[in-house]
Amino acid sequence: MDIVSYNVNGIRAAISKGLLNWMESRKADVYCFQETKAEASQVDLSSFELLGYKHYWFSAEKKGYSGVAIFSKKTPTNIIYGFGDKDYDKEGRIIQADFGDLTVISVYIPSGTSGEERQAYKMEWLDFFYEHIAKVAKKKPNLVVCGDYNICHQPIDIHDPVSNKNSSGFLPEEREWLSQFIDNGFTDSFRHFNKAPHQYSWWTYRAGARANNKGWRIDYCMTNAPLQTRLVDAGIEPTAMHSDHCPVWVKLK
């Protein structure tokens, strides 16, 4: 199974930049989208359906904000929208699809870049998410957690670790959380196969960052321990230009 994770930074904007043509040529089995910034009713879905994709959306209450979705060739055996918690589900940040013995989650972890209050919310959210995933993993042992984590894990994952040491997304407490998440039974599938530096999934729109590859690797396809033997390959596609992020992917037997 070929699973792609992509923060599209507004799915309607991404469509206008050629997302559908890219999907048609890419032909992934599953797309996990984040930051859709739309409800399904606001998008012409017929083009996706002509490509053979079923689609499942979990949007934020606030219009034009956040939102996640899963598009798949195969019909899931079950879909779970949100955490099941009223307060945490307002922002539309998680959706789960079960495909038989395999579970795929699309998640959009909050950013803390807008200030201290939002950073505090991010850390609170991360603790809640950690416990949620631990519960899911007990019921669904073959688990892929794809999405925009809004955290660079190691210095190799960011173009300037020294200048960004106090930046949200590379704070010690965020990196420690991600280390704990991995140590609790997950594999960073990209680093499992690729140890090379200068591999990023997000670039600011400012100062020609993308052209100069001054980026951050904040998007992941995390797989848990039971899937270790089923990992085939994983990668990043920086040539896909529909967003300030680019797609990341993992292939499983």
Neighbours of 45 (CB within 10 A): 14
CA–CA distance, 123 with 129 (Å, rounded to integer): 10
How confident is the model over 110-158, as pLDDT tens digits? 999 999 999 999 999 999 999 999 999 999 999 999 999 999 999 999 9
Predicted pLDDT of residue 60: 98
Q: Catalytic residue at 148?
A: yes
The tens-digit pLDDT sequence of the chain (253 residues) is: 999 999 999 999 999 999 999 999 999 999 999 999 999 999 999 999 999 999 999 999 999 999 999 999 999 999 999 999 999 999 999 999 999 999 999 999 999 999 999 999 999 999 999 999 999 999 999 999 999 999 999 999 999 999 999 999 999 999 999 999 999 999 999 999 999 999 999 999 998 999 999 999 999 999 999 999 999 999 999 999 999 999 999 999 9
Helices (H), the chain: 11-16, 19-26, 46-50, 116-139, 172-183, 189-193
Predicted pLDDT of residue 178: 98
pTM over 0.85: yes
**CA-to-CA dists, residue 115 to 73, 151, 161, angstroms:** 40, 16, 20
Contact 33, 12 (CB under 8 A): no
Catalytic residue among 44, 101, 148, 244: 148
Arch. (CATH architecture) of 2-252: 4-Layer Sandwich (3.60)
Domain boundaries, the chain: 2-252
Predicted pLDDT of residue 5: 99
Residue found under tokens 């505090």: 120
